[in-house]
Amino acid sequence: MTHPIVPITVAYGDGIGPEIMRATLKVLEAAGAQIAPETIEIGEKVYLSGQTNGIQASSWGSLRRTKVFLKAPITTPQGGGYKSLNVSMRKALGLYANIRPCISYAPFVKTKHPIMDLVIVRENEEDLYAGIEHRQTEDVYQCLKLITRPGCERIVRYAFEYAKQQNRKRVTCFVKDNIMKLTDGLFHQIFKDIAAQYPEIQHDSMIVDIGAARVADTPEDFDVLVMPNLYGDIISDVAAQIAGSVGMAGSANIGDQCAMFEAIHGSAPDISGKNIANPSALLHGAIQMLSHIGQNDIAEKIHHAWLVTLEQGLHTADIYKQGQSNTLLGTVEFADAVIANLGQSPKQLKAPSYEGSKPLKLPVVGYKKPCKKELVGIDIFLQWQDGVPKKLGDKLVNYGTAQLELKLITNRGVKVWPEGFPETYCVDHWRCRFMSPTMQLSFDEVLNVQSRLHEAGFDVVKTENLYNFNGEPGYAAVHG
Ligand code: NAD
């Protein structure tokens, strides 16, 4: 099959990045991939030159032009001020879906889980990765967890459409909505709503902690998993490692306009420059890329040759086991072995077919009908050093008004006034909930109470408006 040459952007990254990228591109070239790589510089050198986001402004031009990025891992320098390039890249290019297949290759690669073939569909832009963090008091720091309706709808629909295209049978959702009832609750509700539109695909949900334990114990029970960003980040590393090695799992970051392909692992500085890194994870990212740009036959040819190489026991150090492997190979030699096997198919391992794989086209997420939104109260956060809740409550109650009454005070989310427990440990950060008795409140009244508190010497560090949406509280109830 002939293909037009597709320009792609390539970054060699840091640590083992250049070694595994050279090996990967060598395999792609030998397999006849029709690509025209444009190289950009990202990572440590760029960070240390003073560019705090790790990428030169000029490199975005190449990414916008090619819309396809094959990226080796990079090192984010330690210390404040440096923004994670991976996170910025995913958000700037709108790469909302992160697809991470984790497969075991028993009996050729040692694993406790010989039957494992799962795909983690990780939400890629939201959650705690919004990077909105504040220090609010001497003792308290916060990180905002943002979960949006369009974000949930896109990733959950992606998971079901992916399952449908790849003939997978089941989609499982991991959330923690027993605790985060609004944010993870939204993700879960949208999962249930969208699942109902795919009756041919089974679905179920688990609380993420037991879900993670089950992935680590019985990964053969899972097929496609969909979850918010942080859980997906952690559980995909666990899944890749228990399949055999983090050095074998690739990852596709997919958006409506652009896509980025990479290894799931980092720059592995501990083994860099030694020609011992496994290039397989990046090679798998590249295979996903070839399928994305319509070169399914080449993707399949490389994937099959790679499986043959595993079957031959030609292994890099991370998966080499005496008695089980045949020959220990370096990065370069492993790539050469894959090249030598191009055109062959595996005898025992399942040979994947890429026929029919193509980028998923998802419907644009529509706007919802606006809700009736009513301001009904306010949470005012104060820094206050005297740790006795009763003292604060007794003082503060005088600063409410007829339209906005102090109802309760919490410390780290636990109610401490009225009638708290003397055992509760309190820090210098107090959430004071004022509610409208009539559930009808003007914003002027909110400002009035804040001003009165400020004038009385209270240190107001933050406020959150409390709204009802169509009569339903848009704020969490209080513990205790
Ligand atoms: P890591 O994934 O780089 O390494 C973890 C362990 O796995 C190390 O022992 C390493 O030797 C091994 N390993 C990783 N890839 C391997 C491969 N291909 N072959 C054989 N062994 C391999 O994680 P880390 O050490 O926590 O992070 C190192 C750096 O990578 C940090 O600066 C981190 O910020 C960065 N990082 C980058 C990305 C990315 O660019 N996508 C992702 C994660 C971490």
Cα 438 to averaged position of ligand 1 atoms, centre (Å): 56
User: Is the CB of 268 within 6 Å of ligand 1?
Assistant: yes
Q: What is the pLDDT of residue 415?
A: 96
Counting atoms of ligand 1 from 1, which one is nearest the CA of 74?
Answer: 40
Counting atoms of ligand 1 from 1, which one is nearest the CA of 262?
Answer: 41
pLDDT at residue 480 greater than cutoff 80: no
Q: What is the pLDDT of residue 8?
A: 98
**Domains within the chain, CATH numbers bracketed:** 1-93+254-357 (3.40.718.10), 112-243 (3.40.718.10), 373-473 (3.30.70.1570)
Q: Which helix (H) or strand (E) holds 337?
A: helix 331-340
Per-residue pLDDT, averaged over 55-61, amounts to: 90
Counting atoms of ligand 1 from 1, which one is nearest the CA of 277?
Answer: 19
Strand-by-strand arrangement of the 259-263 sheet: 35-39, 6-11, 68-71, 259-263, 250-254, 97-103, 117-123, 224-227, 170-175, 202-207
Helix extents (H) in 103-182: 149-165
∠ CA 103-309-331 to the nearest 5 degrees? Answer: 90
**Residue holding tokens 């952007």?**
9
Q: What is the pLDDT of residues 110-126, one digit of tens each?
A: 899 999 999 999 999 99
∠ CA 47-51-55 to the nearest 5 degrees? Answer: 80
pLDDT at residue 479 greater than cutoff 80: no
User: Is the CB of 21 within 6 Å of ligand 1?
Assistant: no
Distance between CA atoms of residues 71 and 75, nearest Å: 12
pLDDT at residue 83 greater than cutoff 90: no
pLDDT at residue 367 greater than cutoff 80: no
Those residues with Cβ within 8 angstroms of residue 475's Cβ, 6 or more apart along the chain or in another chain: 182, 377, 379, 464, 466, 467
Query: Please, what is the average pLDDT of the chain?
Result: 94
Distance between CA atoms of residues 121 and 254, nearest Å: 11
Q: Which residue has the higher pLDDT, 434 or 440?
A: 434
**The tokens of 347 are what?**
């005898």
- Confidence at 287, pLDDT banded by 50, 70, 90: very high
Per-residue burial over 301-317, b = 16 or more CB atoms within 10 Å of its CB, e = otherwise: bbbbbbbbbbbbbbbbb
Per-residue pLDDT, averaged over 69-80, amounts to: 88
Q: What is the pLDDT of residue 76?
A: 84
Tell me which of 20-34, 44-58, 205-219, 220-234 is least confident. Answer: 44-58
- Determine which residue's CA is closest to atom 11 belonging to ligand 1: 268
User: Is the CB of 73 within 6 Å of ligand 1?
Assistant: yes
**The tokens of 316 are what?**
């890099």
- Determine which residue's CA is closest to atom 27 belonging to ligand 1: 266
Q: Which amino acid does the sequence have at 275? A: N
Per-residue pLDDT, averaged over 20-38, amounts to: 98
Pocket probe for ligand 1: among 264, 265, 274, 316, the residue whose CB has the most ligand atoms within 8 Å is 265
**315: which DSSP letter?**
E
Counting atoms of ligand 1 from 1, which one is nearest the CA of 84?
Answer: 34
Cα 48 to averaged position of ligand 1 atoms, centre (Å): 19
Q: What is the pLDDT of residues 313-329, one digit of tens each?
A: 999 999 999 988 999 99
Pocket probe for ligand 1: among 16, 261, 267, the residue whose CB has the most ligand atoms within 8 Å is 267
Say what percent of the chain tops pLDDT 90: 85
User: Is the CB of 116 within 6 Å of ligand 1?
Assistant: no
Cα 13 to averaged position of ligand 1 atoms, centre (Å): 12
Q: How many CA atoms lie within 13 A of 13 on its CB side?
A: 30
Q: What is the pLDDT of residue 120?
A: 97
Nearest to 95 by CA among 134, 68, 66: 68
Cα 205 to averaged position of ligand 1 atoms, centre (Å): 30
Q: What is the pLDDT of residue 78?
A: 78
Q: What is the pLDDT of residue 85?
A: 87
Distance between CA atoms of residues 283 and 129, nearest Å: 27
User: Is the CB of 318 within 6 Å of ligand 1?
Assistant: yes
User: Is the CB of 74 within 6 Å of ligand 1?
Assistant: yes
Nearest to 98 by CA among 110, 106, 108, 86: 86
- Determine which residue's CA is closest to atom 25 belonging to ligand 1: 268
Distance between CA atoms of residues 267 and 18, nearest Å: 10
Q: What is the pLDDT of residue 130?
A: 86
- Determine which residue's CA is closest to atom 40 belonging to ligand 1: 73
Backbone angles phi, psi at 313, to 5 degrees: 75, 20
Backbone angles phi, psi at 100, to 5 degrees: -130, 90
- Confidence at 311, pLDDT banded by 50, 70, 90: very high
Distance between CA atoms of residues 195 and 51, nearest Å: 43
3-state helix, strand, coil in the chain (%, to 5): 35, 25, 40
Pocket probe for ligand 1: among 55, 246, 316, the residue whose CB has the most ligand atoms within 8 Å is 246
**The tokens of 426 are what?**
């309190």
Those residues with Cβ within 8 angstroms of residue 1's Cβ, 6 or more apart along the chain or in another chain: 297
Per-residue pLDDT, averaged over 25-46, amounts to: 96
Counting atoms of ligand 1 from 1, which one is nearest the CA of 78?
Answer: 32
Cα 270 to averaged position of ligand 1 atoms, centre (Å): 9
Tell me which of 35-39, 138-142, 243-247, 335-339 is least confident. Answer: 243-247
Backbone angles phi, psi at 118, to 5 degrees: -120, 160
Those residues with Cβ within 8 angstroms of residue 371's Cβ, 6 or more apart along the chain or in another chain: 469, 470
pLDDT at residue 191 greater than cutoff 80: yes
User: Is the CB of 325 within 6 Å of ligand 1?
Assistant: no
Per-residue pLDDT, averaged over 205-229, amounts to: 97
Say what percent of the chain tops pLDDT 70: 100
User: Is the CB of 241 within 6 Å of ligand 1?
Assistant: no
Per-residue pLDDT, averaged over 176-182, amounts to: 96
- Confidence at 386, pLDDT banded by 50, 70, 90: confident
Those residues with Cβ within 8 angstroms of residue 215's Cβ, 6 or more apart along the chain or in another chain: 118, 222, 225, 235, 238, 239, 242
Q: Are strands 133-135 and 6-11 parallel, antiparallel or unpaired?
A: unpaired
Distance between CA atoms of residues 199 and 284, nearest Å: 31
Distance between CA atoms of residues 257 and 387, nearest Å: 52
Distance between CA atoms of residues 450 and 435, nearest Å: 13
